[in-house]
Amino acid sequence: MSAAMSASESARPSSLVRWAGLGAFLLGAVLLARSLPLDRALGALDVVVRDAGPWGPVVFAGGYALAALLLFPGSVLTLAAGALFGPLLGTAVVSLASTTAAALAFLVARHAARDAVAAVARRRRAFGAIDRAVGEGGWKVVALLRLSPLVPFSLGNYLFGLTRVGFVAYVLASWVAMLPGTFLYVYLGHLGRAGLAAAAGLERERSAAEWALLGAGLLATLAATALITRRARAALAEKTEGPVVAEEEHAGGRPRPWRSWALAAVGLATLTAGLLASCGVLGRWFGPPQVTMEDVHAGEAGTATFDHGLLDGLLAAHVEAETGLVDYQGLRRDAATLDRYLERLAAADLGPLGRDERLALLLNAYNAFTLRLILDHRPLASIRDVPEDRRWKGRTWTLAGQAYTLDELEHEQLRPKFREPRVHFALNCASVGCPPLRREAYVGARLEEQLEAQARLVHDDARWFRYDPERGELHLTRLYDWFEGDFAQVAGSALDFAARYSPALRRDLERGQRPRVRWLEYDWALNERRRRGS
């Protein structure tokens, strides 16, 4: 009795550490999800599934089954299924894939790799009790183990192949018993995708009632899963003549506290990463490359000019004056004119152009290429719906006889070769969060005036700049976060650059008052003017 009490008392600190570690991990995961562009990875997976057409769910299910056979944690892919397919189809896809993986692993263990799996089983003290219980209870114990897993799903699939349970009974019991947990993880993935999409502006903002309904559904799913798991654990304890907790014990019943401390370390590391990400530190690792800006063409006078008349006419005709939104439907009718302009860009000679003429041409080229990109892939909700290998990294654009990606134009031709951070207010990525397109092309003779007008437009609009001196809060477009180094090279800091366009901010900075910076959500919704009835 005293030995049991001693073991119980010594396990309490370990349990507290474990729960603290889990809490830190969950909080850190939430901060990372809010701060890092995790939607990019999800978007890439979404593209693969979408490109497969009606076979998309089948492709995903095949990848899921293969990952499970290779002992990859299934929970990650189950969350992704919820994000990609929604709660119902996602549950169906994962249920089919996980049951298929369970069946295949069972057959491998029973007929092809028995010795190897048995060697793993011997190292897990729980397996002896599980083997005895399965031999006596058959499919019922399999179902209980699936509801309250004592071994990881992927490894358990192999271990069950060593028991005496029948194949058909095992598959049916596994399929039914795994459904509650599958639905829970799929539902969590669906909620996560909804949050990312709302933050990115890819779908309408949900009402408070809708979020409350989703939250209530999550709580109900959690409660039902917890109740089923608790009852399964109690029933399993009876079948195995006591709880099987080999993963937490040494021989002799003493707890293994290092597992709790390991979880605490992982939780602390995740929380630290989340805090750094929320402060914008980690975000720069995932953002655009840092460059040293130099005005390499400053001494080139140049007398030649480039005719941007075709683009000028298109922008005047299809960009809305009040909002800067683009009538892509109308632009499609004038696609031949846009293509003629792109042909001129392909044949351009940059050599005779002076600094401002060259910069104007690069800005216009980037924006014109982006317009053509959208026309090539409509209908779209966002430019990020364009497959990644054809979006900013697709080398499909020809300028002066050389092929470029949009990323190369921005990060290799513009930023490092012109000491001009205002280009970030002139480049347009076909998104509502971008500073809008001008209704005219950039021209060398008026470039300074045009760039300054764009900068002032950004800082006069609450979508990109808001300063509250009384509360000491500055709300800035993410452009200042992603390209902080560019602004700092010219003005000393991003705040000092923004202060050029805000007398109140400049006054407070001169007084030594540093406001708290809040990053405005970047709206990636397509900058399309919607026609009535469309």
End residue of a domain, out of 209, 231, 253 = 253
Specify the higher pLDDT residue, 193 or 347: 347
For 348, 418, 455, the CA distances from 300, given in Å and listed in that order, are: 17, 12, 25
The C-alpha atoms of residue 324 and residue 314 are separated, in whole angstroms, by 13
pLDDT of residue 286: 54
**45-49, 69-73, 159-163, 454-458: range with highest mean pLDDT:** 454-458
Residue 189 sits in the same domain as residue 237: yes
Residue 480 sits in the same domain as residue 492: yes
Compute the 3-state secondary structure of the chain and give helix, strand, coil in percent, each to the nearest 5.
65, 5, 30
The pLDDT tens digits for 71-82 are 776 777 787 788
Q: Which amino acid is at 181?
A: G
Q: Nearest to residue 118, comparing CAs of 170, 68, 160, 162?
A: 162
Does pLDDT of 279 surpass 70? no
Cβ(91)–Cβ(183) below 8 Å? yes
E strand or H helix at 517: strand 516-519
Residue 279 sits in the same domain as residue 390: no
Q: For residue 224, tell me if it sits in a domain.
A: yes
Q: For the purposes of burial, counting CB atoms within 10 Å of the CB of 7, is it exposed (0-12), middle (13-18) or buried (19 or more)?
A: middle
Specify the higher pLDDT residue, 213 or 169: 169
DSSP calls for 326-387: B-HHHHHHTHHHHHHHHHHHHT---TTB-HHHHHHHHHHHHHHHHHHHHHHH-S-SBGGGS-
Residue 104 sits in the same domain as residue 132: yes
Q: For residue 409, tell me if it sits in a domain.
A: yes
Q: For residue 45, tell me if it sits in a domain.
A: no
Q: For residue 64, tell me if it sits in a domain.
A: yes
Residue 247 sits in the same domain as residue 261: no
Does pLDDT of 152 surpass 50? yes
Residue 344 sits in the same domain as residue 397: yes
Q: For residue 327, tell me if it sits in a domain.
A: yes
Angle separating helix axes 38-51 and 167-200, nearest 10 degrees: 120
Cβ contacts of 326 within 8 Å, gap of 6 or more: 318, 319, 320, 371, 374, 430, 437, 527, 528, 529
The C-alpha atoms of residue 213 and residue 278 are separated, in whole angstroms, by 28
Residue 265 sits in the same domain as residue 377: no
Residue 239 sits in the same domain as residue 337: no
Cβ contacts of 335 within 8 Å, gap of 6 or more: 372, 375
The confidence band for 7, taking pLDDT boundaries of 50, 70 and 90, is: very low
Q: For residue 298, tell me if it sits in a domain.
A: no
Specify the higher pLDDT residue, 189 or 235: 189
The C-alpha atoms of residue 64 and residue 170 are separated, in whole angstroms, by 20
The pLDDT tens digits for 204-221 are 344 555 445 555 554 554
Residue 1 sits in the same domain as residue 65: no
Residue 107 sits in the same domain as residue 236: yes
pLDDT of residue 269: 78
Residue 67 sits in the same domain as residue 207: yes
The boundaries of the domain holding residue 166 are: 54-253
Residue 238 sits in the same domain as residue 269: no
Q: For residue 137, tell me if it sits in a domain.
A: yes
Q: Which amino acid is at 100?
A: T
Q: For residue 414, tell me if it sits in a domain.
A: yes
Q: How many domains does the chain have?
A: 3
The C-alpha atoms of residue 322 and residue 319 are separated, in whole angstroms, by 9
